[in-house]
Amino acid sequence: MSNSNTRFDIPQSEIPTQWYNIQADLPRPLPPVLHPGTKEPVGPDDLAPLFPMGLIMQEVSQDAYIDIPEEVREIYKLWRPTPLLRARRLEKALDTPAHIYYKYEGVSPSGSHKLNTATAQAYYNKQEGITGLTTETGAGQWGTALSQACSFFDMECVVYMVKISYQQKPYRRAIMETFGASVTASPSDTTQAGRAILERDADSTGSLGIAISEAVEAAVTSEGKYKYALGSVLNHVLMHQTIIGQECLKQMALADEYPDVIVAPIGGGSNFAGIALPFLRENLKNGRQTRLVGIEPAACPSLTRGKYAYDFGDTMGMTPLVKMYTLGHDFVPPPLHAGGLRYHGMASIICEMYNQDLMEAAAIPQMETFQAAITFARAEGIVPAPEAAHGVAGAIREALAAKESGEKRVILFNLCGHGHFDMTAYNAYFADELSDYEYPQAQIDAAMANLPQV
């Protein structure tokens, strides 16, 4: 391979055979998850109504590496390894001495990194005789991925889609139905939770919190037929995504460079974790000093402006209590187009990384992310999803800082998905209908006054 290559391909025989579990190497362990009633640590049995034991064991495992089942690797071969590209045209457009690399997860058939964990979750459920999975989706990336994964394993998929998205994103619904999923607008009359909401407000356009409640209820009342699947936040979900960073380690070696800094968006944390954790291991074990930078929306700044405290994972206060950087479980983020990043909290693993000074975080306003996405698209051809645009914007900040200081800097970012189903957001940007959101501290303080007592 010559230096003029822009893509660094590894063969399918080099798809990683194990997932990497950061719990084995964190300097201090994760704080326990607490039962919302007893405030005692929850055990595997508490989670059994929702998840199969194979995933619960991964959730609490302290092993550094866990084998990827052969059947999962066979599915991964439909799109993996994903490409690592050097953004030479973007470097030129920015006139920067930095070398910018991006890992492109949008080549997955679902269009994002979500299929990495959806495939694994469907597999472990299938192994334990579960015939279908329930879940919620907002922007639609996760619902699409789980629909495909269930189709691969001949399982049913029941998706509760936030009603406003269901109405505004008929293409998302269509692709899930193409894979045989049943898609229901939430709130619906198919669950008690949905009916209760509709009784109070027949015109409710729904929320992710409500859709979660419906999906969880549909699983626990199915008499063992269905279980529930979550697309981010949990330890096992982040672990499944480490296949991304492991591939990057090999591909950066092909490019004969090593990243000085890694950038990725953070909403629940799985995308950032996927690319960063294998490099964090190199920092911890092999003396590397790569900076790891998570980018969150300025309008939903959990790490940069939240509080490290025990809180509920959902809006309704039904889940176990998790210690995390939170804006308060009843914090309502604005109608940001990066729907996948509108989460009040953050994965426990990411929170401990931040707490233990193993990573940095930055908050970027919406308009800057769209400007960055368009600069990137015109240089490299790919239109990023609004969530992915946060990673692009973070990488561009790093590249401009390198230009300012005149240093060569090797930047790697995770382009977690394309924006083909999000073009409404770009239309709104071009029509001057978008803006930034700035929170008065008092509003965040108010949302946090309602944190549960532990």
Closest CB to a second copy among residues 131, 151: 151
C-alpha angle 306/204/215, rounded to 5°?
70
Looking at 128-136, 191-199, 204-212, 423-431, which segment touches a second copy (CB under 8 A)? 423-431
Q: How far apart are CB 5 and a second copy at their closest, in Å?
A: 5
Write down the H helix ranges in 179-262: 192-200, 208-220, 235-240, 242-255
Looking at 165-173, 212-220, 282-290, 325-333, which segment touches a second copy (CB under 8 A)? 165-173
Looking at 144-152, 217-225, 290-298, 339-347, which segment touches a second copy (CB under 8 A)? 144-152
Report whether 266 contacts 361 (CB < 8 A). yes
Residue type, 223: E
Binders of a second copy among 105-134, rule CB under 8 A?
A: 107-111, 115
Long-range contacts of 366-371 (CB under 8 A, 24+ apart): 366/297, 366/298, 366/299, 366/336, 366/337, 366/338, 366/434, 366/435, 366/436, 366/437, 367/434, 367/435, 367/436, 368/393, 369/297, 369/338, 369/393, 370/425, 370/426, 370/429, 370/434
Q: How far apart are CB 373 and a second copy at their closest, in Å?
A: 8
Query: 103-119 as b/e, with b when 16 or more CB fall inside 10 Å?
Result: bbbbbbebbbbbbbbbb
Say how many C-beta atoms besides its own lie within 10 A of residue 162's C-beta. 26
Q: How far apart are CB 171 and a second copy at their closest, in Å?
A: 4
Q: How far apart are CB 423 and a second copy at their closest, in Å?
A: 4
Confirm or reject binding of residue 374 to a second copy (CB under 8 A). Answer: yes
Among 102, 142, 413, 421, binds a second copy (CB under 8 A): 421
Closest CB to a second copy among residues 112, 191: 112
Question: How many angstroms separate the CA atoms of 279 and 244, rounded?
Answer: 11
**Joined tokens for residue 26:** 């964190």
- Determine if the peptide bond prior to 31 is cis (ω within 30°): no
Closest CB to a second copy among residues 83, 259: 83
Closest CB to a second copy among residues 408, 420: 420
Looking at 5-13, 45-53, 134-142, 402-410, which segment touches a second copy (CB under 8 A)? 5-13
Confirm or reject binding of residue 78 to a second copy (CB under 8 A). Answer: yes
* Contact string 196-215 vs a second copy (x = CB under 8 A): --------------------
Question: If 0-12 CB within 10 Å is exposed, 13-18 middle and 19+ buried, where does residue 366 land?
Answer: buried
Q: How far apart are CB 248 and a second copy at their closest, in Å?
A: 17
Among 335, 420, 445, 454, binds a second copy (CB under 8 A): 420
Interface positions with a second copy (CB under 8 A): 1-2, 4-7, 9, 11-13, 74, 77-79, 85, 89, 107-111, 115, 148, 151-152, 170-171, 173-175, 177-180, 374, 377-378, 380-383, 420-421, 423-424, 426-427, 430
